[in-house]
Structure 1
């Protein structure tokens, strides 16, 4: 049987982008950092997000059935760390926009507004399969996550 530590060490070697998943439910804003995010389909536009099932953000999304994926820029590592914690008001002092009642982080690299189609419990997490209803593109380069730390993506120059 594979032990938890070895598993985490191996999957930590997969570099990913960093997102903050946000929602609003009963007038309260919720958000949490997630690197377990991927596109699923472009017809219809769909994504997959995995959140810890004990998080307040996950509970709020399961009730509201709507959320946003905020793809962070390389300058937003502190924001990723802030939303990864259990702070009481993660949104204090942060610029936000609103799309259909869902909070968006104003300076994010990109945004996707989503409606939950399925939520599936698996182990410690909930897998959210969602249809994308709106999208926005911002500026900058994405924040990267690798082996438990944040970093930068260095794009290659275009091929000649």
Structure 2
């Protein structure tokens, strides 16, 4: 699957003790429009997964082409990840990476299923914010941007 190109997100959640948690994730899919639901896959050992389970909420930060540093920070063992990037709390209290994400979906956990060493978390979207920027992509073990693309590109019928 390392050759499959996908968008890059940072999943964030606030732990029971108020500590922010986050990790870089490329395992994201839209599940249904009604109700709007996203699916993310998180390692069972992840502190972010523990925060998601404790709070019942999480945010999906979709990174723009300038968000590579945030993707690298949240995929590393840096202990103070949230000191490395600007963020704020969203409408439902979730963590938004304000300079690195072109879109954010705040979610309420609707379901979770253990599959091997990961948990598939289904989140019902309760709030979104978006601005027109080019998404950051990852595939073939490197980052890239979608050349010639923009958020205002016409839809194909």
Q: Distance in 2 between matches of 1:143 and 1:44?
A: 26
| 1:21 maps to 2:14 | no
Partner of 1:154: 147
SS state of the match for residue 133, structure 1?
Answer: strand
Return the match for 1:114 from 107, 111, 117.
107
Instruction: Please report how far the alpha carbon of residue 93 of structure 1 lies from its aligned counterpart in structure 2 after TM superposition.
Output: 4.0
Root mean square deviation of aligned Cα: 1.5
Partner of 1:127: 120
Unpaired runs of 5+ residues, structure 2, are none
Return the match for 2:33 from 32, 38, 42.
42
1:1-160 to structure 2, matched below 5 A, reads 11-25=1-15, 26-99=17-90, 100-107=92-99, 108-155=101-148
The alignment's TM-score, normalised by the length of structure 1, stands at 0.88
What is the aligned residue count?
Answer: 149
Q: Distance in 1 between matches of 2:147 and 2:52?
A: 33
Q: Distance in 2 between matches of 1:130 and 1:93?
A: 26
Instruction: Please report how far the alpha carbon of residue 50 of structure 1 lies from its aligned counterpart in structure 2 after TM superposition.
Output: 0.5
The alignment's TM-score, normalised by the length of structure 2, stands at 0.89
Asked which structure has the greater CA Rg, the reply is 1
SS state of the match for residue 109, structure 1?
Answer: strand
Q: Which runs of 4+ in 1 moved over 6 A?
A: none
